[in-house]
Amino acid sequence: MSDPRAGQLVLVTTPIGNARDITLRGLDLLREADVLVAEDTRSLRRLMDIHGVPVGGRPLLAYHDHSGAKMRDKVLSHLALGALVVYASEAGTPLIADPGYDLVQVARAAGHGVTSAPGPSAAVTALSIAGLPTDRFFFEGFMPSAKGARRKVLQSLVAVPGTLIFYESPKRLEKSLGDMAEILGEDRAAVVARELTKRFEEIRAGTLAELCRLVAETPPKGEIVILVGPAPARNISPEEITRMLTAALASQSAKDAVAEVTAATGAPRRQVYKQALAILGKS
Ligand code: SAM
């Protein structure tokens, strides 16, 4: 019987700091792959070395979305020949603020199976230990480094009714926290999670204003995730919700209109839904 993994692309998640966070299945796949593809071939080699998995004579290809169609064609031709191809990014889950999106797209479009050996991602690791609400969250990843563009992104996130998650470099942390305090609100609860799973792992929690002061006094080094608690529900009148719903219902489905107005106002979804039914004469 033929190996069901032949001609498959498998995304293997690698550790975000502690090399022992590779999964047993991830190691099996690194051992058994016919072709290895990595965002950073040196760090994949190092990880495999630590775990005693030799690369041997197997192809180890460097891939970025920018390495372009040529490298994707190469991977596709291996898949077409029935190779088990494993792809890993430098750290954490591939495609999460990392390359691989175009590769997954073309592999799927060409009819190849694409699956995953999951593992850590800094965003979810930070969220799970931050002590901020986890029921709804919004991953922004890296914000633009230009101040104007960064502030525009933050303005679009003001009313998101869930915890916001950002990746940030230590160099830009102070400026980003300053913009967040100004635009999202000084009193919003926030966390700076640093060096997760590593020796100097640290969680600093406080309001955005407090974190700005703390970071200015003792600038942190290393890898950083910023989390900001959900927007406080605005005190919005039922009449205002009806007005917004009427406008939204003119151009979209009831489901989308309810989702949009719930997100924009922070009002309970059930209340917005009930008012939408009343407008549509279905209550
Ligand atoms: N694919 C990765 C993932 O699944 O989390 C993210 C890759 S992205 C290029 C790298 C950024 O993730 C870092 O700049 C930092 O913001 C965050 N990050 C990665 N590892 C981290 C860690 N151990 N502690 C805190 N943040 C981390």
Please give the distance, rounded to the nearest whole angstrom, from the Cα atom of residue 44 to the centre of ligand 1. Answer: 16
Please give the distance, rounded to the nearest whole angstrom, from the Cα atom of residue 54 to the centre of ligand 1. Answer: 26
Range in 113-127, 157-171, 221-235 with the lowest mean pLDDT: 221-235
Residue 65, domain member (yes or no): yes
Give the residue numbers spanning the domain of 244. 238-279
Strands (DSSP E) contained in the chain are 8-12, 35-38, 60-62, 85-88, 113-117, 137-142, 163-168, 189-194, 202-207, 224-228
Residue 178, domain member (yes or no): yes
Give dist(CA 44, CA 91) in Å, integer: 9
Give dist(CA 63, CA 85) in Å, integer: 12
| Shared-domain flag, residues 51 and 127 | no
Please give the distance, rounded to the nearest whole angstrom, from the Cα atom of residue 108 to the centre of ligand 1. Answer: 26
Q: What is the pLDDT of residue 204?
A: 97
- CATH number, domain at 91? 3.40.1010.10
Please give the distance, rounded to the nearest whole angstrom, from the Cα atom of residue 114 to the centre of ligand 1. Answer: 23
Distance of CA 213 to the CA centre of its chain: 27
Measured from the Cβ of residue 164, the count of other Cβ atoms closer than 10 Å reads 23
Going by their DSSP bridges, the two strands 202-207 and 137-142 should be labelled as unpaired
Those residues with Cβ within 8 angstroms of residue 269's Cβ, 6 or more apart along the chain or in another chain? 258, 262
| Shared-domain flag, residues 84 and 137 | no
Residues near ligand 1 with C-beta < 6 Å?
A: 16-17, 89, 91-93, 96-98, 121-123, 167-168, 193-198, 223-225
Query: 89, 120, 151 — which closes off a domain?
Result: 120
The tally of domains found in the chain comes to: 3
Residue 233, domain member (yes or no): no
Residue 161, domain member (yes or no): yes
Q: Which atom of ligand 1 is nearest to the CA of 194?
A: 25
Q: Which residue from 225, 226, 227 has its CB within 8 A of the most atoms of ligand 1, so it is best to mutate?
A: 225
- Phi/psi at 184 (nearest 5 deg)? -85, -25
Q: Look at the alpha carbons of 88, 222, 127, 105 in this order and tell me if their dihedral is positive or negative.
A: negative
| Shared-domain flag, residues 44 and 144 | no
Residue 62, domain member (yes or no): yes
How confident is the model over 60-70, as pLDDT tens digits?
999 987 777 89
Strand partners, 38: 62, 88
Please give the distance, rounded to the nearest whole angstrom, from the Cα atom of residue 122 to the centre of ligand 1. Answer: 5
- CATH number, domain at 163? 3.30.950.10
Whether the pLDDT of residue 232 is over 80: the answer is: no
Q: Which residue from 192, 195, 224, 227 has its CB within 8 A of the most atoms of ligand 1, so it is best to mutate?
A: 224
**Predicted confidence band at 2 (pLDDT cuts at 50, 70, 90)?**
low
| Shared-domain flag, residues 84 and 140 | no
Q: How far is CA 143 from CA 97, 104, 239, 265, in A?
A: 11, 24, 35, 24
Q: Which atom of ligand 1 is nearest to the CA of 201?
A: 24
Query: 91, 120, 149 — which closes off a domain?
Result: 120
Strand partners, 228: 164, 190
Please give the distance, rounded to the nearest whole angstrom, from the Cα atom of residue 45 to the centre of ligand 1. Answer: 19
Whether the pLDDT of residue 1 is over 60: the answer is: no
| Shared-domain flag, residues 180 and 273 | no
Whether the pLDDT of residue 140 is over 60: the answer is: yes
Q: Which residue, among 238, 250, 237, has the nearest Cα to 280 in the 3D structure? A: 250
**Predicted confidence band at 237 (pLDDT cuts at 50, 70, 90)?**
confident
| Shared-domain flag, residues 17 and 69 | yes
Residue 173, domain member (yes or no): yes
Whether the pLDDT of residue 121 is over 70: the answer is: yes
Query: 74, 95, 120 — which closes off a domain?
Result: 120
| Shared-domain flag, residues 166 and 212 | yes
How confident is the model over 200-226, as pLDDT tens digits?
999 999 999 999 999 999 999 999 999
**Predicted confidence band at 51 (pLDDT cuts at 50, 70, 90)?**
very high
Nearest CA to ligand 1 atom 23: 196
| Shared-domain flag, residues 52 and 138 | no
| Shared-domain flag, residues 219 and 131 | yes
| Shared-domain flag, residues 113 and 78 | yes
Going by their DSSP bridges, the two strands 189-194 and 224-228 should be labelled as antiparallel
Give dist(CA 147, CA 68) in Å, integer: 30
Residue 206, domain member (yes or no): yes
Those residues with Cβ within 8 angstroms of residue 126's Cβ, 6 or more apart along the chain or in another chain? 165, 191, 193, 196, 225, 227
| Shared-domain flag, residues 93 and 153 | no
**Predicted confidence band at 264 (pLDDT cuts at 50, 70, 90)?**
confident
| Shared-domain flag, residues 116 and 24 | yes
Q: Which residue, among 171, 173, 92, 164, has the nearest Cα to 125 in the 3D structure? A: 92
Residue 56, domain member (yes or no): yes
Give dist(CA 142, CA 20) in Å, integer: 26
Strands (DSSP E) contained in 151-222 are 163-168, 189-194, 202-207
Please give the distance, rounded to the nearest whole angstrom, from the Cα atom of residue 207 to the centre of ligand 1. Answer: 23
124-131 own/partner pairs: CB under 8 Å, 24+ apart: 125/16, 125/193, 125/196, 125/197, 125/225, 126/165, 126/191, 126/193, 126/196, 126/225, 126/227, 127/163, 127/165, 127/227, 129/193, 129/203, 130/163, 130/191, 130/193, 130/203, 130/205, 130/227, 131/191, 131/205
Q: What percent of the chain has pLDDT above 90? A: 84
Nearest CA to ligand 1 atom 2: 92
Q: Which atom of ligand 1 is nearest to the CA of 166?
A: 16
Q: What is the pLDDT of residue 65?
A: 77
Q: What is the pLDDT of residue 114?
A: 98
Q: Which residue from 191, 223, 226 has its CB within 8 A of the most atoms of ligand 1, so it is best to mutate?
A: 223
